[in-house]
Amino acid sequence: MGKRELIILLVCACLLVSFVVYVMSDANLFSGGSDGTDDESPTQNPPSTDDPSQTDDSPPADDSPPADDSSQTDNPPQTDDPPQTDDPPPTDDSPPADNPPPVEPAENAKDHEDPEDYDLESSPIVDVALNGDSITVNATGVAVVNGSKVTITRAGNYRITGSLTDGQVIVDTDDGETVRFILNGVDITCSTSAPIYVVDAKKVVIALQDGTENYVEDGTSYVLEPETDEPNAAIFSRSDLTIFGNGSLNVDANYNDGITSKDGLIIKNGTITVSSVDDGVRGKDYLVVKGGTVTLNVGGDGLKSDNDADATMGYVSIEAGVINVVSGGDAISGETDVIVTGGEFTLTCGGGSGGVTGVSAKGVKGLVSVIIDGGTFTVNSADDAVHSNMNITINGGSFAISTGDDGFHADTYLEINGGNIEITQCFEGLESNVVTINDGYIKIDSSDDGINIAGGNDGPADPWAPPDENQWLHINGGYIVISAVADGIDTNGYMDMSGGIVIINGPENSMNAAIDYGQGSFKITGGTLIAVGSSGMAQAPGSSSTQCSVLVKFTNDFGWPRDITLSAGTLVRIQTSTGEDVVTFRPTKSYQSIAFSSPALTMGSTYNIYYGGSLTGGTATDGLYTGGTYTPGTSYRSPFTITSMVTNVPPSFP
């Protein structure tokens, strides 16, 4: 065989290989994704809610009838591609039945607050003067003084002034009434125990005299009560404890915790600053913050309740206030629930999002539930920003989150009913067994999946496992923007969408997808979905949907590489045959595909696709344009006609 014949043979062989690759690629033999069909949906999980009155998702509002695109004028030049062929007809899925709702957490025990707690005129005030190494009391029969230690033995109101270089103020009463301290500019240091120590009382109230500064400091080692580990905090109480007033309290805890009550602890107001070796402020039965400014710099947890023996206890409730926490562990931790209705929070845990820690270093953690109705949160955490071993409900609030792990992680249910959530750094943005989004603004920038539907603790999912019928993503409303290195949305079960806007700038690698529901299903009945990313595993909503979708994969007819990669910032546009805008989008990352669904796509209508070009005027929000004048770029496989719920461009089998 001559040299010329050999060259001709090699060229023919290359052409044959290219043709085989083209046919196999169009047949999705190289793709891990779906061709748009899906199996009948399994029984659907109910929405996650702590409100028993929560009803099932209502159907979306009727869309207005589409415009008549039957008359086509001035179409751009058509390519030589064959006309769009019919996709398989959608399956006829029956409506899923609701499963029983999740078990409601136990109702929290009532706190100990009483309006009379704050009545400093309920009885005559007894003055206690701290004189460095001695103490004087201006009444008899109410206290016992032993050198630099005073033990209050009767309920009443006490005003404490002065300083102790190494002493204690102790409460030990048995008369069943409230003891009130007025801290009037004190500086108390104790080297071997808690400077303020409540051994026994019905209730103790610490009042911070207006305009005063008060200091409490302990040593690095304690002489403990026999056969106990107590006391273990600079301010330690075995009884209910309340702190209030318009003064300040500064606690330097060198042994263990800063402020601890073994019963309930209420912070009504005041300016409280704690530096501690371990936890900052701990109420074993509950911790309630009703206002004030609390600043903690602690080696352990910040605000904490840890009663694990009573399901009605162990909760943290924050109603208002300014909370600043730098913690080695969790910033806010409830053994059962964390309930937040308001406040301003700045939380840094475990060294922040770049930190490495072997302990739990979460922003907000409630093992049974986290319920947030409002507040402003800035969270920089090594671990999850908001976490529950069971349920999270977000009804409002504003969140600026940077985390080394998940933004919001619930093992069982995560429900978002409102709020403004911006996650600028995370591993995964939202993660739970069931995620329900009813409303709110959510923006996620993730190094792995943007939204991940997976139960239990973090860990890789088996890509070959069948879909889990208990794992669901429900999108009923809201505005969601995702930029993900891995999957934009990844469910190991099922998903549906009935409203809202979802914009995804997905992966640039072929082993992930902007939307990945694997062998499960995705039923869309309303809302707007724009998802761009790589084409290898790209999926669109499934054929059980009642709203039309299109999955566009940008490919070459012949040659290699098979996929066309469009650079970040390259416009993609779908318009009607008469030139009216359906979607104009500018992705922030390079892409090979776009999955799009909107009420604007109507059965039987014809559309054109362009990439590139330019837009003058108009308004862009997260890359999505409204208005303006588009100058066409490259026409791609146009026109195409919507003939089924899921249209593939190019068709899977030309």
Residue by residue, what is the 3-state secondary structure of 283-314?
A: ECCEEEECCCEEEEEECCCCEEECCCCCCCCC
Q: Cα torsion for 574, 580, 582, 586, to the nearest 10°? A: 60
> How many Å is the maximal CA-CA distance in the chain?
122
Quick check: is 448 in a domain? Answer: no
Whole-angstrom Cα distance, residue 434 to residue 491? 10
Q: Which of 474, 480, 363, 346 is nearest to 419 (CA)?
A: 480
Assigned domain for 138 exists? yes
Q: What span, in angstroms and rounded, lies between the C-alpha atoms of 53 and 44?
A: 19
What is the reported pLDDT for 492? 86
Which CA distances in Å does 298 have to 220, 386, 521? 15, 19, 47
The answer to whether residue 536 sits within a structural domain is: no
The reply to whether 395 falls in a domain is no
Domain of residue 199: give its range: 119-278
- Confidence category of residue 458, pLDDT binned at 50, 70, 90: low
Average pLDDT score over residue span 148-163: 98
Q: Does 621 fall in a domain?
A: no
The pLDDT assigned to 2 comes to 57
pTM: 0.85
Alpha-carbon gap, residue 250 to 218, rounded angstroms: 12
Higher pLDDT, 83 or 477: 477
More confident residue, 65 or 275: 275
pLDDT given at position 43: 46
Domain-embedded: residue 155: yes
Q: When comparing pLDDT for 58 and 549, which is higher?
A: 549
Q: Indicate whether 193 belongs to any domain.
A: yes
DSSP state of 158: E
Digit-coded pLDDT (tens) for 585-602: 999 999 999 999 999 999
Distance CA 102, CA 48 (A): 7
- What pLDDT, in 10s, does the model give residues 476-510? 999 999 999 999 999 989 999 999 999 999 999 99
Separation of CA 107 from chain center: 24
| Phi, psi values for residue 488, rounded to 5° | -65, -55
Q: Which residue has the higher pLDDT, 216 or 83?
A: 216
Spatial neighbors of 87 by CB under 8 A, at least 6 apart, are 36, 543, 643, 644, 646, 647, 648, 651, 652
Instruction: Decide which of 15 and 137 is more confident.
Output: 137
What residues are paired with 609 via a beta bridge?
574
User: Does residue 83 register a pLDDT over 50?
Assistant: no
Phi, psi of 94 (to 5 degrees): -80, 150
CA-derived radius of gyration, the chain: 32
pLDDT in tens, 211-255: 999 999 999 999 999 999 999 999 999 999 999 999 999 999 999
Q: Decide if 53 contacts 101 (C-beta within 8 A).
A: no
What is the pLDDT, as a whole number, of residue 93? 43
Q: How confident is the model at residue 90 (pLDDT cuts 50, 70, 90)?
A: very low
Q: Predicted confidence band at 347 (pLDDT cuts at 50, 70, 90)?
A: very high
Number of continuous H segments (helices) and E segments (strands) in the chain: 1, 56
For the chain, what is the domain count? 1
User: Bigger pLDDT: 358 or 574?
Assistant: 574
The whole-number pLDDT of residue 25 equals: 44
132: in domain? yes
